[in-house]
Structure 1
Amino acid sequence: MFASIKWKFIVVCFLLIFIAMIIVGIFIFGRLESQQILNNTNSMEQHIETIIKTSSYLAEDNWLNVSEQIQETLNEWKIDGNETIYVIYNDEFPIIIASSSKQYEKLIGQNALSYKSIDPTLVLKAYGGDRANEDIKEKNENTVYNHIAYPVLDEVGKVKGVIYMTSDLQNVYTVVNESKKILTSATMIALVITILLGYLIASSITEPIRDVTNKAEEMASGNFDQFVDVKSDDEIGQLASMFNHLTLKLKNTIQEMDLERSKLDTIFNYMAEGVLAIDLDGNIIHGNPIAMDILRLAGEKDNNDNFTPYINKLLELIDIKNVNFEQISTLEGHKALAIDSYVYKVKYAPFKDEGNNIAGLIIVFQDMTNEHKLDNMRKEFVANVSHELKTPITTIKSYTETLMDNGIDNETGKMFLTVIDNECDRMARLVKDLLQLSNLDYKKTVWKKEEVSINKLLEDILLKLEFAFKNKNHKLELNIKELPDIVIDKDGIEQVILNIISNAVKYTEDNGTIEISLTDENNFINIKVKDNGIGIPEEDQKRIFERFYRVEKGRSRELGGTGLGLSIAKQIMEAYQGQIVLNSKFGEGTTVEIKIPYEKV
């Protein structure tokens, strides 16, 4: 029953009223009781002060001499039957010398500190010169008395006696108890009214909510033609209006989603590339017909029971079992997958679920068979041309040297022979570069690692280029850090560094500046070569490492370049698991950073 909001509302209202009345009652009754006692205390003090002012005998210093007259004064004084006065005089010890009690004769002469109706603490405090009062409950009785000890002072301020007065507080507590009964009755009536009103108010709230709930259940079952009646303009009415608005928006949204899903299904099924979705465990979630055909899954169900060897090969290629799905950067990438005579570029990236958690991978297959064949043909062409040209070039070189050694007198003949010799050298360099590229392509290069001082290696390279620097009057700025010996392939690394610095010299105008720095960081040797030369246009920077690619073909040939130097350098660094990073701005200069992995000796 209490699961209903109606009864929760009634209980809350009941508790609010009940708690409020309790708090108010505690405050009122506590205040009423305190005020009644305070009024009683003030009245008692006024009586005592009146007696002191009107009795000439109390003005005497020795009350023992006038004790009978003081008693007669108290007998004549009209005192309420609920009040009792004791006149106490200190003669060796405080004694009662007069009282308004009917049994005053038995009290006279008694020790005030041991009399049961007198609190000795208050008497002693009064003899200290202070007024004292306290509410005291009599022993073996339920009656509470208000006690006051009032000191009477002489002309010099010395206490000559104490007037002690008690008053029955029964009337005070009778008033308080009657007030409690009245408030309790009022509280019960208020609670009954609260329950009735709460029930009516809660019903007016819960009935429209119940109607909305029933309509929502119908919508959950797929029936979206649900509308609720709007019976008011308050929050409940606004809820009903928003529910009707939500119903219309939901119907429109579902229609739009169905349309978009239809579009996506059409695009997905008829796109040229194969698309496959797999979950974190490698299970196929969905795939378009192209992907199914590529993986030989056409006509089969997409589940683990129908995995083909191509699926296993794909999962091994991606290495899905070792994929770190927490690092997005490690997921995005592309690899090549060979199936029969076809080669596909496999691109993959993670997709997320509604909770923004990685749910799996989207894999795209792009047919790269033709590009792969052309690339193989190009590599074979380089290898074949290199081998075909090497023999005739060697023969021409031999004959040319022979003719030059025979000392032909004709200067023109020597000039032609020199040109032939230079061209042979150029062709030999070309063949050498082509052969080196071929070896790198087919991973035939044998790396001869040895202990090398990178500082000495860089010093030797700069020494080889010293003439080139002086010839163009370049300013060389060095920032060389002394590094320990490392184990690298000296010839390969020297070729890379020499090529980068040579290019900086070639493409920097006379009187230019070349900055070279040598540092190490995280097991990498960083060699940075910065020049203020002609720079490289932005559109050419992406292709600068391609074979035979030249930014300025005519100038490159004049400077003796083959267009293969940067390609060789890049492939050497890739084979060596290093990097070449180029950053250039046309007309301002170029910065090339060589990052060489090394092993400390």
Structure 2
Amino acid sequence: MFTNIRWKFILVYFLLVFIAMVIVGVFIIEKFEDQQITNITNTMEQHIETIIGTSSYISKDDWSEVREEIQDTVNEWRLDGKETLYVIYDEDIPTIIASSSKNYERDIGQNALHYKKLDSSLIFEAYNGEKNANIKEDKNDGLMTQHLAYPVLDKVGQVKGILYMTATLNDVYDTLNETKKILTNATILALLITVFLGFLIASSITEPIRDVTKKAEKMAKGDFDQFVEVKSDDEIGQLASMFNYLTLKLKDTIQEMDLEKSKLDTIFNYMADGVIAIDIKGHIIHANPIAMDILDLTREDIITPNIIEKKNFPEEYINLTKIDYEKSDTLEGDTIIEINSEVYKVKYAPFKNEKNNIGGLIIVFQDITDEHKLDNMRKEFVANVSHELKTPITTIKSYAETLMESDVDEKLTHKFLSVIDNECDRMARIVRDLLQLSNLDYNKTKWQKTEVSVERLIKDVLLKLDFAFKEKGQKYSINIEENLPNIVVDKDGIEQVILNIVSNAIKYTQNQGEINIKSIRDEYKVIIKVKDNGSGIPEEDQQRIFERFYRVDKGRSRELGGTGLGLSIAKQIIEAHNGEIVLKSKFGEGTEVSIILPYTRV
């Protein structure tokens, strides 16, 4: 960063201001501290001299005789709350005989506890006739205190005692800390301003050169839409003018090329098919977003300059070893492949490079998954319809031929005719269901929507199926939430759905089984749940249960009279009402089907 001349300017200004502010700050702090401590010391001396001059007991030669009076004098003297006065007597064994400390008043006579707090060197110097002051730090709480020992002389000039005063320096050092913060903030602000001004000054010198350099670099990368502002007529201004002239010439030259490239890029990126270009070694050199998603590629896989890291086209989709770039008949082809359950039709053809030689292949992936699925569904549907109709037709034909070619008694004839009639009914049901599905597919069904009571709808269905319940000895229970809102639906259509679901529950639940019907409200929806304890549906069949003609147990379904279309019709009816039908089942334990229908909240 500091190879840039701009930052060199800024660094020099920054260091100059920083050093100056540090020197000034240190000088101010030291002077301020000395002045404050000197002021406090002078104040302490004035207080002591005032006490000496005004107290008659202090003037006595023997302080031990007037100890009580001296204590009273100290108590009456109103010192600053930050100051504490000690009266010390007896040179041989210095003893505190009076003090303004409240602790001393409570523990009078415990001189050692107070004496430890004092500076013994100051007391020694005071008994030598020297007044002196010193700052002492309390080891317990870390507080700084100013100590002053002031000798009191008798008439002949001998020291008869010491007035020792302490004053806390908390305010002084708090003020010093605040001053340091102010100076620090001022230094930071000054440095910021210095950086800003240095940036402006340096920019005025380096910006023109920097501007030309940056735009020349962009041009080197292919961006030719660059112009430099000419601000002077000197050499830099002449350089900027020539740079602009070069830009205009280059822009005119490549404008048409950019336009054509933009068209091709837009087509390439937004086409619905995946397109990949590979070189003759099989390396992927270009791919549009669709192709990158299909083959799970990233942009880094394609643009990496390292030949070792370049991605190869997967040979399981197209066997590139069979392609001979010397033979044109092997360079074009198509195939159908499956990738991640999606079906694609893959076509490939060669492209040529700037030397008019074959440079590789263009491979196109066309998604035909939906067409493939539809084709399979059509085939399966035709096969299912043919199979469903073949059985009753075969039965009818065989029984009819038997009646025509044999002398059959009246009882057997009636039996055969009954079978023929049942098979005809079965074909009629299949055709009717297919017609209903066709109408639903093409939205030809006209719904007669009215406001319907869910409770009434369920009870009507159960009434119609009452005989079926009794025939299998099954029990059912109804649990309908109170104040359940009415729904606006086609009554016959929804009744057909509920009838189909409950009928299936009866069919696939063993004798003496249980079926529970429940209806609740969930926000703006009404849910009807039909739950049985029947045979259940295997997990692998649950995904296809709503497909047309799909049966879990085909033989048993036909025996029970089902066409395999009921659930498909039910699902389409519910979806036509903007609802949803959900199936949950556990094989061997039972099935629960939920019919979810919206209602309009009042």
Global fold match (TM > 0.5): no
TM normalised by structure 2 equals 0.44
Q: Answer with 1 or 2: which has the greater Rg.
A: 1
TM normalised by structure 1 equals 0.44
